[in-house]
Each structure stands twice: as C-alpha cells, then as structure tokens.
Chain A
C-alpha cells in the first residue's frame, strides 16, 4: 500500500499522540519532537483502542509509550512490550513530507 496522509504535523502536540483511521484500521501516531512514529492503537492488555492517549517516555534509552490503562510500555520503534517479552504490537512506517504526516501500512 502507498503512503496515506493523516494530518498535518501541527495537529499533533509535541510529545503526544493522536489516533488515525486508515482503511478502518486504528493507528496510534506519535510525535516526538519532529519525528513521527506509528503503532497499533489497541492496547493488547485491555483490548481498548487507547495507546495514542498514553504518555511518551524514555526508559533506559528506548522511546516508549505507556498504556493509559495498565501502564505497560511499548517501544515506539518496534512495538515491543518492555514488561513482557512475548507481547509486541504492530508497528508501521511513518514519515513527514513537508508538513504532512504520512503512514504506510504493509499488507
């Protein structure tokens, strides 16, 4: 699939996330300074679509988002859960083109 533009970079406050809907898939899009990351929005521990609303953290050098429900951490670069090796969530390609925030979902 090609790149989808979801919003402008100014639509995301620095160091926060927003949720985007791409072909009915819920994607959490995070802005750390001017870099964009994209993960699945579903928190696998609660099954609620909330990860975009988590706090962005750095834990021992890894950038992560803390789930707002039970506070597990997921790495922004790989979707890996820090608390449980066996859990990881989908991670998508993300970039900015000018002011546009773009996501690509591989099928």
Chain B
C-alpha cells in the first residue's frame, strides 16, 4: 500500500479528463494515485465536436488525451470497463469485470445518456441515439442501405444529427413534439424563421408531432404513426429527445439525487458523501443540470482545487448562453431569451427578405440587457453577451443594438476598451479580458499565441473575433510594432524584398535566399518571391528555377479543387466569345466530361480535370484559338464589360472594345494579389466597375477612372481618380497605378486594403501618378512596357515543350489517373463524390 491518496475517477469523458488535467497542472499529482475507469472503448474524446468524426471517420481525430499523458503522470486509465457498485462504507468500487478498486476520494463524471421515449417499437433495428463514436459508426453503416432518415427531437443535438444524416446523402426529416424547433433556446418568432431556414436546406420539419408507435413501413423499414393520425416512413431513426443525468451509481449507493435525477453537489462539487464528488452532466447544482461543456469544466476545476486542499475555485453556477452554426445557420441565445424576468421588455427586428431575426430582452427600466435571440446573423453575439454579463448600461435607444446600420452610420459596437478586466471573453474556457491582457503583457503577439497560453477561442470559437480585438487593443497600448517580417526565412517586408530584387537585379529565388535569407524557404516566401520575380522580369513561370516556388495553382497553371482535380478557365477577354469559340469549349468539356459553369467573371470554367488531362485539354483549347485565363494566378483575372454603345441604346462608348484592350494589355501581369477590372458603357454601370480594382465608366467626353474597389469579403466602393480623360491618359494612369501597387503592397493585399493603408490616400496617389511627385513615373512606365512586351501564354509555352508536359503526369512511373477521384452525376453533370458517397459506393463515375 502506498501512503498516497487514491483518487478514483468514474467516467472518462471530457469533464473527467479535465479533472485529471487540473490535478496534473496543479503540480501536485505525485501526491495521488490516480485511476480513471471508463465504459467506452477509448479514453476521453471531444464529444462537442462529435460530428467532426464524419470528416475523417477516425476516432483519433477527436482524442483529447495527449500522447504519453497517462504514462508520464503515472495515471492508470482503464477503458471498456464499467463501475457497477460503490461500497461507501469500505470505500471500494466494483466493476463489471469483477475488479475492486479502493479509493480515498471518488469522482463521478459519468455524464448523461440520451433519453429514448418509450414508444412501442423504439427498440426496432436501425434505431439509434447520437452520443458516442460507436453511435456514429452504426448510423453510417446503416445509411449505406437507406434512403430516408428521421430524427426524433428538434433541439440543438437533433438538428446536428439531422445535418449528419443529410450529409450521408439521405432524405431527412426532423420530428419535434413542441410547436417549434430549439424550443429551449429560441422563442416563437425565432423558431419560425429557423424552421424556414432548415427547410430551405432540404430537411423536412414536422412540429407538434407526438409519436405513438413505430411499425413496419411499406416503402421503408419503419413507419412512424403520430397522435394526429399522420404517418411518416423512414429507414433510419435517431432519437435525440433530450439527455438524462447518468446517476445510477449515486442511486445504488444512496447519495442524494434530485427529484428528476442528477447527483446533488455543493459549491465544491461534493455530493452528500464528502469523499465523493460529482462533476459534469451527471451533477445537479442549485437544482440545475448543465448540459454544456463549459460549466462541466468549471466544476472539474473546482473539484480538483478542493481535492488538492485549496479552495480558491468554487462552482457557483454558469451562463448558458450559446452561439452556434447549425446547418450553416447562425443561431445564438443569451440569458433570459424568453423574457421571463418580471417586467422584462422586448425589442424585435425581423428582416424577412434576408431571413434575419433578432430580439433583445431588457429590464423594465430599459437600462440593462437581460437576454437575446439571434437567428440568421449573429455577428453581435459577442457584444450583446458582454452587455448582459457585465450589466453594461444600454444606450438610450436599446433597439439600436439590433437595428441594421443604415448608410454611413456605424452600428453600435462595443469598443473592447469599454469592458472591465473581469469581463469574460471566452466562456467555454473561462478566460477574462484581464487574463488575455496579462498574456499579451507576457509576450503573446498573435491570436494563435493567446489560444496556446490561455485556451481562449479553442472550443466553440465564438469568441475569436473578440479575442483578436482585445489583442490588438492591448498591443497598440503597449506601443508594440507588430512584426512585419515576411516569414522566418526573410527579415524583410514584401516591399523591401521587391526593392532588393529590382535594385540587385536578382533573377532567382536561390540567389535571393543566398544573399538575403536563410533556410530553405516556405509556402509564404516562395510564392511571394515567384510573384516579385515575375512582376520584375516576367520569365516563363515554369522555368526549372521558378517552378518549385509556385503555389499549386501556378505550378500546374490551373486551380486545384477539393478532390485534387483542377479547373480550366480559357480567357474570354471582355466576356466576348464567338459561337465557334463556345462550341469548341463545349466540345472539350464534353470529351473530358468536365463540369461546366459560367463564372462570376463573365467566362466559362471547366471543372474536374486531372493533372494528366490538363495539357491535352489545353492543346485542344489553344488550337481553337484560346489562351490561358490566368484564373490560377495572383494576376489579372477578367475585365468585365457591359455591351456598350455598339448595341445598347444608352451606351456612349464601346465598352466591350475597351475591356478587351485592357484585358489584353494587362493579362499575365503578376501582382501581390489578383486584379479585377471592368468597363461600363454609360453611367448606368451594368459592368459594376465601381467594385473593381480598376473601374472605367464611359462619359460623353471620355472615361471616368475609378480605383481600388473590391467585392469579396469586405466590399469597397472604388474612388473616382480622374474624370473625362481620353484613352491614352487612362492607360497611362492604369499602368502607373498597377506598377506602383506591385512595388509597394503587402503580400496578398488587394488594392482596396492597400489604399486604406496608404498614407495620404487618394490625393497622395494622384500626386504620385499624375504629378510624378516621387519622380518615378518614367520607371513605372518602362516596367509596365517590359511586362506587356514579354507576355506569353503560359499554356502555349508549356504544351510546346515535351519536357514540361511530363511534369503533368499523375504518376511518374505509371500512365494512369488517380482512381480515387470519382464523381457523381447531378443536374446532368459531374461533381466530386462526397466521402459518404464513396463509402456507399453507388453510381460513382471515374475520370473520363
């Protein structure tokens, strides 16, 4: 016998594991003999992200126990073993294998189990619950021979299960007893909107359905019969009708349990027997079961603290606010979402068009926020939660918190400065603003650093944006200049490297690395250098000395898709294409069985080509007169056009002709990020030129030139740079603008962001480009002339050189295609098969 205290943990789930980690982190684990017994076949895994199992179908990907954790800390961990009895008098636990384990302190972290309503037929074949990896394995296996799946229960977990079933390729139904989905978290209005959104995704929702019995179906395995006489047939049934605390051991050993289950605990998480603790979903604190991970972890920390003899941390309840993305729909609920506080008042905002529902619940005096429900858009979750948790005083018109920001006026944000240090930023991991600031003081420089040292933002991720804001605010306060080195291999910014290349006439990456860098390079500096070398010298990008630097897309002159195939985009300058051109593209697509789509950039994209098909496809496109569309490069994409004066009754200039000229002038130019342009034939602006890096709009007298617009993630209206200019002037300005951008922008910085960061802004840019205030215009003009003069169609150069074509073999030693690339027919064309479809092995189409 040892004189160490024996700790016995029953149940190796996320909470039990957190308890053990807390003991180890306290540095006092050598004073204990730790044993953990779990009924499942494996130690603790991340149940919150259970659904992610479908991505890899490997249990290991969810594992929570670091390699060597048990052996390094002398912990005995037993799986596949269930504790069946506790003898409190003798402090011994017995398992289903007949083993006996003596303890000094016993920790019950037995979690909960899914409640299966006792309707007749609930135990038929193909009836499942959704709680463990084994459940998911069983559902996946059953799905192979099934067409229809149904989930009983429209709560948070039910919807998650429904999504999984939908992703397995089944027709999916959700059956809910209550009149709306997620009745616990959302109110009626929110429920209705949520329902519409879920139905839009192709999942049928049936509310107010009380299942009476399950019998044999006619077309499917089961038929469900409801109290209102309706029926539904399904092959698979998943019950997700709530959870019940797993308190069997507590009942067996006469510990105090709640009326409706749950092991009663105090603030130290001790049960009615002080030698026994209960934590996580099996525990009942203050009459409440917490079905979320964060409170469970808080309990684990409190119990561990008490066991080691400190009582710094206690459990005093937890916030149940949640934000999630269910089937791609943002859903959030904060505090008193149902307005049950006496005197509470509500404000509701519904945008039926955008399918957004927002409600806030405020105190009778309108001073404080009690709760909120957000559906369809939950960007304000972090801000609202801080108002509720920290009782921050609301603005005079609380409704402004949920009303959309109208033109110009900024929304009511909450500067992180307004938050007190105790404000909880990450509720999953209980990290306060003060904790984050302290970590920044200790040297954390990035969100990644903060994740590593505080665990903030590592669980549900809902707080990531706020964590970033606290970081930036704190760094700025400390006067820290953020490290601007390109990467570990070059202690320079992109601009500096550009100048080193230009001035030093450096012609290869190896030369650059040798003179100014160290190591082998990486996926950041190699493509950046490749882009700079191309902007400056415009060599063929697959020259042996450049090929290894290119990002995959540039390396194979095509865009890699999720299954390792490529898309092919021939250039159609200005969006103009002849009937013969279209036919030729169609014939190629047909021959190689490629998925064909019109892009948002006015041209045609052909998807699903394998590496070895690319040169053959391009040979045919080039002989039909096409060129590379550079859809793969950080380079000019398209110049969109409207039909303009040649056809349109309003057009004042030939916008198509101008777009074609611009596209042909700048095609192939490598730049810090991609470039997009457009030309409209009149002020009606059908080509949407003001959302482009370069936008041109025809006027009676010439052209208006707009610069630095952006669609994409953060749209920006382009700035009017010059009005009523003639064609030559316009081209001159665009040349200089582009070359100045290429010189000075950061890697992957679009012109819009570059402009936002340009000191002096638009006026400064006009001085540089129009007045030549820096005296560099002659250089910029010459640099652009060189690029224009040395243009080559990279695909033409490639297919003319057998050595280059060899690089496109799928295998260096076999004349075959990757046979794991398989497709499914949908709407008359191919698309990549999903993992589920690959497993089900039905109707797969191989590469043409």
Interface residues of A (CB under 8 A from B): 6-7, 11-16, 18-22, 26, 29, 32, 44, 46-50, 53-61, 63, 66, 68-69, 71, 85-87
Contact = CB atoms under 8 A, between A and B. Distances in A.
Contacts of A66: 522-523
B810 to A, nearest CB: 6
A53 to B, nearest CB: 5
A106 to B, nearest CB: 19
B520 A32 contact: yes
Interface in B175-218: none
B820 to A, nearest CB: 6
A57 B820 CA distance: 27
Which 5 pairs between the two chains have the least Cβ-Cβ distance?
Answer: A57-B522, A68-B552, A48-B564, A58-B520, A66-B523
Interface residues of B, number: 41
Contacts of B814: 20-21
Interface stretch (B58-66, B245-253, B336-344): B58-66
B67 interface: yes
B562 interface: yes
Most chain B CB within 10 A, of A6, A14, A47, is at A47
B507 to A, nearest CB: 16
B413 interface: no
A49 B522 contact: no
Contacts of A21: 811, 813-814, 816
A53 B821 CA distance: 16
B838 to A, nearest CB: 9
Most chain A CB within 10 A, of B61, B63, B552, B807, is at B552
Nearest to B526: A55
Contacts of B806: 11
Contacts of A61: 519
Contacts of B799: none
A31 B562 CA distance: 25
A44 B56 contact: yes
29 contacts: A11-B806, A12-B812, A15-B548, A20-B811, A20-B814, A21-B814, A29-B812, A46-B563, A46-B564, A48-B562, A49-B821, A53-B552, A53-B560, A53-B611, A54-B552, A55-B548, A55-B549, A55-B551, A57-B522, A58-B521, A60-B488, A61-B519, A66-B522, A68-B552, A69-B562, A69-B564, A85-B67, A86-B63, A87-B61
What does DSSP make chain B's interface, helix, strand, loop or mixed?
A: loop
B555 interface: yes
A55 B812 contact: no
B810 A19 contact: yes
Interface in B537-577: 544, 547-549, 551-552, 555-556, 560, 562-564
A16 B548 contact: yes
B726 interface: no
Contact of B556 (A44, A53, A63): A53
B818 interface: yes
Contacts of A71: 523
A57 B812 contact: no
B195 to A, nearest CB: 33
B610 to A, nearest CB: 10
B555 A53 contact: yes
Nearest to B818: A49
A46 B562 contact: yes
Contact of B813 (A13, A20, A46, A68): A20
Given A13-B547, A49-B564, A86-B63, A57 B811 contact: no
A56 B563 CA distance: 21
